[in-house]
Amino acid sequence: MSSKKGIISLYLLLLLLFPPGAHGMAMATGDSLSEHRAKGTSPFALIPLGAIRFYQEFLSPQSVPACNFHPTCSHYSFQAFKKYGILRGFLLTSDRLQRCNYWARGHYPLAKDGRHLLDPVENHLLWGKPKPGVSFKKSELPECPPSGKANSYRPEGIWGFAEYLYGMKDYRRARTEYRRFITLSPEDRRAEEADFKIGICLQKERRYRLAIDHFRQWERHYPKGSLIKEARFHTGYSLFLLGDYERAVHVFTQLRDGASSKAWQSKLDYMIGWAWLRKRDWPKASLTFDRLANSLSDQDQLGKLKEIAALTQRGRSLPRRSPALAGLFSALLPGAGRAYCGRFGDAFYSFMLIAGTAYASSYYRLHHHSSQSLIFGSMGFFFYLGDIYGSIKGAEIFNEQAEGQLQDRIEKKLAEMDMSNE
Q: Is residue 159 part of a domain?
A: yes
pLDDT, block means (10 residues), the chain with 422 residues? 50 49 44 48 71 77 76 90 89 92 88 89 84 46 42 77 93 93 90 95 95 95 91 96 95 91 89 94 92 77 84 91 96 96 95 95 93 94 96 95 93 79 55
Binning the chain into helix, strand and coil, the percentages to the nearest 5 are 70, 0, 30
Residues 198 and 110 placed together within one structural domain of the fold: no
* CA pair distance 126, 133, nearest whole angstrom: 19
Q: Is residue 299 part of a domain?
A: no
Q: State the Cα angle at 197 between 192 and 200, rounded to 5°.
A: 140
The predicted pLDDT at position 56 comes to 76
State the residue range of the domain holding 153.
133-242
Residues 45 and 120 placed together within one structural domain of the fold: yes
Residues 106 and 154 placed together within one structural domain of the fold: no
Exposure string (b/e) for 126-164, b if CB count within 10 Å is 16 or more? eeeeeeeeeeeeeeeebeebeeeeeeeeeeeebbebbbe
Residues 118 and 140 placed together within one structural domain of the fold: no
Closest by Cα among 242, 178, 176 to 213: 242
Q: Is residue 74 part of a domain?
A: yes
The predicted pLDDT at position 136 comes to 43
* CA pair distance 75, 316, nearest whole angstrom: 39
Instruction: Name the residue type at position 305.
Output: L
Residues 231 and 328 placed together within one structural domain of the fold: no
Instruction: Name the residue type at position 409.
Output: R
Residues 52 and 155 placed together within one structural domain of the fold: no
Boundary residue ending a domain (74, 104, 124): 124
Residues 46 and 114 placed together within one structural domain of the fold: yes
Q: What is the DSSP string of 67-125?
A: -SEES-HHHHHHHHHHHHHHHHHHHHHHHHHHH-STT-TTSS-B-TTSSSEE--GGGG-
Residues 75 and 30 placed together within one structural domain of the fold: yes
Q: How many domains does the chain have?
A: 3
Residues in a beta bridge with 193:
none
The predicted pLDDT at position 146 comes to 44
Q: Which residues contact 222 (CB under 8 A, 6 or more apart)?
A: 192, 195, 228, 231
3-class SS of residue 269: helix
Residues 139 and 238 placed together within one structural domain of the fold: yes
* CA pair distance 372, 378, nearest whole angstrom: 10
Q: Is residue 164 part of a domain?
A: yes
The predicted pLDDT at position 35 comes to 46
Q: Is residue 102 part of a domain?
A: yes
Boundary residue ending a domain (242, 273, 300): 242
Q: Is residue 70 part of a domain?
A: yes
Residue 10 is inside which H or E element, if any? Answer: helix 2-17
The predicted pLDDT at position 9 comes to 54
Boundary residue ending a domain (183, 209, 242): 242
Residues 236 and 162 placed together within one structural domain of the fold: yes
Q: Is residue 65 part of a domain?
A: yes
Residues 69 and 106 placed together within one structural domain of the fold: yes
Residues 120 and 76 placed together within one structural domain of the fold: yes
Q: Is residue 37 part of a domain?
A: yes
What CATH number corresponds to the domain at position 190?
1.25.40.10
The predicted pLDDT at position 140 comes to 43
